[in-house]
A and B are shown apart, each in its own frame.
Chain A
Amino acid sequence: MMVMGIKGNQLPEQDREETLEQRLKRQGVSRRGFLKFCAAAASAMALPPSMVPAIAAALGSVTRPSVIWLSFQECTGCTESLTRSHLPTIESLIFDAISLDYHHTLQAAAGQAAEEAREMAMEKFKGEYLVLVDGSVPMADGGIYSTIAGISNIDMLRDTVENAAAVISVGSCAAFGGLPNAEPNPTGAVGIGDLMEMGEIASKPLINVPGCPPIPVVITGVIAHYLTFGTIPELDHLHRPKSFYGDTIHDRCYRRTFYDQGKFAESFDDEGARLGWCLYKLGCKGPTTHNVCATTKWNEGTSFPIESGHGCIGCSEPKFWDAGGFYEALSEPTGALGTAAKTAVGVGVAAGALSAWQNLSKRSGAAAEREKVTIDDLEQK
């Protein structure tokens, strides 16, 4: 794991002025190596490989932006996700390509020295720096439930975002409130987008990168996109990059074949489970969860939860923790429905739609904020 210097990662001026191509060249990386980096970056950004020349041209001209990473009410899983990858990888190269001026988990400095590094970066790169946030912000009781160096999270965020170029919320806590926001939400935890809407912090271009945690290359891919093109990628209605969150897990799942054939595992140890059949009836939230786990996968492309035999829990969606049981099928009844309706879920696509409708109409509160899906909806995709 990289550890920053005593006062952050304060770079000599000439290093900040270098483009990524110049920096790699100085490190002995050839033009071919640079093109290879661009090909890997395109793959990481979920861009078509035909974009490689555009990426190469862009990276040959941009310099390193200052990045301030703020960690609030979080478990550090997002930072762990980012840094657990083996080095050197595309991730480490991306970190060579930005100037990470403040990250209190990674930097050696603490307290006053750390805060000075943040303030220095904010002053020097006013209007240009990028703010990355992981963790939600507690708003109850004046925000006293989480402080850093004696500064409440909301005060630090308000101060830091004021002159930022853009904000990236890393992980479901920063994006949507996440687990701290789960009922009964004793700290009044909210996500960054909500704080902008509430007028608690300045409104800036916002990219949400949800997940609990997000996939490392998705985090770096979004940073790489900003670094490369100087713009935020195309976003969906929840401010998630469409390139990573445009499809559902179900859309790209290798078990989709079995779903289409109506072959479902009924329990985690039955014949269907052993044969790798669809986990829909065991509570898989793949049909309503937008993420790239099924294609990018985890642990350097090794596998993803469904490939390991467990359904998706929907961690990149708002309020996933309060959206019903992880082991309840999306269209299985949660209330007291008749036996006929319960049976319908299992016996056929058309019949299942009725049960799905009945079930979905019964859901309320957190579940109501999730995208609804019926077997008919899935068939139409």
Chain B
Amino acid sequence: MSTLDAISIETEPFVDINDGSGAQAILREIERLLEHLIDNGEEGVIDIKTIPLSLHEHEQLHYVLGRGELTATLNSMGKSIVHETAIAGVWRTIHYNDDGDVIADLIEVTTLPEILKSDLTDMQNALDELRKRIETEQPLIV
């Protein structure tokens, strides 16, 4: 055992000190954005990674929003998880890097997050690919 190992470590209980007002403020902002989306069709997004929230406030925020019925996973440059919350039109998108660290955590107020839509250039390339596959890749007939 090294000298460092001989030093005992005592863990202090985690003290969560915030009163939840941060979560309330974000929820009110989401309410305003959703109203705006319904009335004007304009989308909104909040980057909650850059907002100083305590664990309690994070839990409060996501407890209120709840979890909807749709979840999508993207595997590109690390995983991304997109899910609709229980509030229709309010989505949460979490981007991770290859090491599993969160690099962006977004609340998107939209009918469908942009990242889920197919891109026109990709579709044009895909059409060529499809035509090639139709010519070259026939199913095996036993």
Contact = CB atoms under 8 A, between A and B. Distances in A.
Contacts of B80: 36
B121 A49 contact: no
A243 B19 CA distance: 27
Interface string A21-62: 000000001111101110110110010111011000000000
B51 interface: yes
B52 A294 contact: yes
Nearest to B42: A50
A40 B98 CA distance: 13
A43 B77 contact: no
Interface string A76-111: 000000000010111000000000000000000000
A104 B50 CA distance: 34
Contacts of A327: none
Among A36, A254, A275, the one with the most B-chain Cβ atoms within 10 Å of its Cβ is: A36
A31 B77 CA distance: 11
A275 B78 CA distance: 37
Interface in B2-58: 12, 15, 17-19, 44-47, 49-52, 54
Contact of A30 (B15, B50, B101, B122): B122
Interface in B89-104: 93, 95, 97-99, 101-104
A276 B17 CA distance: 8
A36 B115 contact: yes
B137 interface: no
B121 A31 contact: yes
A35 B114 contact: yes
B17 A36 contact: no
Contacts of B50: 43, 46, 295-296
Contacts, number: 92
A42 B114 CA distance: 15
A258 interface: yes
A266 B99 CA distance: 40
B102 A301 contact: yes
B104 A40 contact: yes
A193 B101 CA distance: 36
Interface residues on B, range: 20 to 34
B97 A257 contact: no
B8 to A, nearest CB: 16
B42 to A, nearest CB: 10
Nearest to B15: A276
B45 A36 contact: no
Chain A binding surface, main DSSP class = helix
A39 B106 contact: yes
B119 interface: yes
Interface string A246-273: 0000001111011000000000000000
Given A32-B74, A35-B114, A43-B104, A49 B47 contact: yes
A37 B77 CA distance: 8
A362 interface: no
A52 B99 CA distance: 23
Contacts of A33: 74, 76-77
A254 B54 contact: yes
A126 interface: no
Contact of B115 (A35, A254, A276): A35
B17 A257 contact: yes
A149 B76 CA distance: 44
B76 A29 contact: yes
A274 B76 CA distance: 42
Interface of A: 29-33, 35-37, 39-40, 42-43, 46, 48-50, 52-53, 86, 88-90, 252-255, 257-258, 274-276, 294-296, 300-301
Given A39-B106, A43-B104, A257-B19, 6 more contacts: A46-B50, A49-B47, A88-B98, A274-B12, A276-B15, A294-B52
> 6 shortest A-B CB distances, which residue pairs?
A33-B76, A31-B119, A40-B103, A49-B45, A39-B104, A33-B77
